[in-house]
Amino acid sequence: MSGATYTAAASVAEALGALSSGARPIAGGTDLVVGARGGKAPLPEALVAIHNLEELRGMSAEGGGVQMGALVTHAEIVASEAVRSTFTALADASAIVGSHATRHVGTIGGNVMNASPAMETGGPLICFDAMATLRSSSGERELAVAELFAAPGRTTATADELLVAVSLPAPAAGTGSCYVRLEYRRQMEIAIVGATAVVTLDGGTVSDARIAITALAPTIHRVAEAEAALIGGDSGEAAVRSAADAAAAASRPISDVRGSADYRRAMAAVITRRAIVAALSRARGEHVPIPASPALHGATNGGAA
């Protein structure tokens, strides 16, 4: 570990000032500190703590959408009725990040800016067209979360920009969603493979579909071929399978200690199919527990949250 200087910012302006002189922000510290202790990367030389900034806290639901400060924790997301009912895939994801402790300390802002290709909330945010608000001493800009992810551990934000908020626009009526990950254990887990499905039903027809894959490429991304396989269709088994197969075909998995590329590719189809099926069920108003992953994997002892 290093971290030669540490200041706790009293205002967003102060935090932005520190960033422009080279400091890196820290909130929950669940990636930064754990990574430094584990020898992944030393702590940055200068740290500016943003966890006291009230302005970055809290979430609100207006006009069917949800606005979240960067410091909103996973536990708060899971507890939000607006997220659970409207952006259910995001609740699925936040409910299985790390452990109980991680979810009470780790923030949505940290999760997004860490830009891990295996992070849980990325797929849902992309599929829900989430927008990120980035602020620096010289101004503020908004961009799609999808455009934020550049490479494993890298975003398109500049070093002096702070993520201050994430907002999700209202989805169309008849939308159901689900995030599923392949997990080897219930807690303290990271996605071996993950998939997000956001589907909108109009009568019996799929009027819109968003499919994203996680831990299957250098960045989390949507799969247009999978979406096309569903849109305009009857949401039947054949369409679901061809969408899932398209997701697997679009994957570029690596072989590592968590699984071989072959296994991950095969699992991409399975997990994507399960996400789509659950999203369709939710779109029809059927109950699928949050988080979906344990139930879909055959949990019988209480699930993850």
Residues of this chain that interact with other proteins (CB under 8 A) are 1-2, 37-39, 99, 182-190, 192, 257-260, 263, 266-267, 270-271, 297-302, 304
Q: Is 78:111 a contact under the CB 8 Å cutoff? A: no
Least distance from C-beta 1 to other proteins, angstroms? 7
> What span, in angstroms and rounded, lies between the C-alpha atoms of 214 and 268?
9
Minimum distance of other proteins from residue 303's CB (angstroms): 8
Eight-class DSSP state of 61: E
Q: Closest distance between other proteins and the C-beta of residue 183, in Å?
A: 8
Q: Are 235 and 273 in contact (CB under 8 A)?
A: no
We find the least distance from the C-beta atom of residue 261 to other proteins, in angstroms, to be 11
Preceding omega of 171 cis (within 30 degrees of 0): no
With DSSP H G I counted as helix, E B as strand and the rest as coil, what are the percentages for the chain, rounded to 5?
Answer: 35, 25, 40
Q: By C-beta, is 118 or 170 nearer to other proteins?
A: 118
Task: Give min distance, CB of 45 to other proteins, in A.
Answer: 13
Q: Which residues pair with 149 in a beta bridge?
A: 155
Q: Which residue shows structure tokens 């500190």?
A: 33
Considering the complex, what minimum distance in angstroms separates the CB of residue 100 from other proteins?
A: 9
Task: Give whichever of 102 and 200 is closer to other proteins, judged by the CB atom.
Answer: 102
Of residues 285 and 301, the one with the C-beta less far from other proteins:
301
Q: Where are the beta strands (DSSP E) in the chain?
A: 5-8, 24-26, 46-49, 59-62, 65-69, 131-136, 139-144, 149-151, 154-155, 162-168, 175-182, 193-202, 205-214, 221-222
For other proteins, which is the closer residue by CB, 80 or 293?
Answer: 293
Taking a C-beta distance cutoff of 8 angstroms, is the pair 30, 75 a contact?
no
Residue 63 or 298 with smaller CB distance to other proteins: 298
Residue 285's contacts (CB-CB under 8 Å, 6 or more residues apart) are: none
Rg (CA), the chain: 19
CB of 301 to other proteins, least distance (A): 6
Nearer to other proteins, 2 or 158 (CB): 2
- Closer residue to other proteins, CB minimum distance, 148 or 271: 271
- Contacts by 40-45, CB closer than 8 A, 24 or more apart: 42/1, 42/2, 43/1, 43/2, 43/3, 44/2, 44/3, 45/2, 45/3, 45/4, 45/5
Least Cβ distance, residue 57 to other proteins (angstroms): 29
Residue nearer to other proteins on the CB measure, 92 or 160: 92
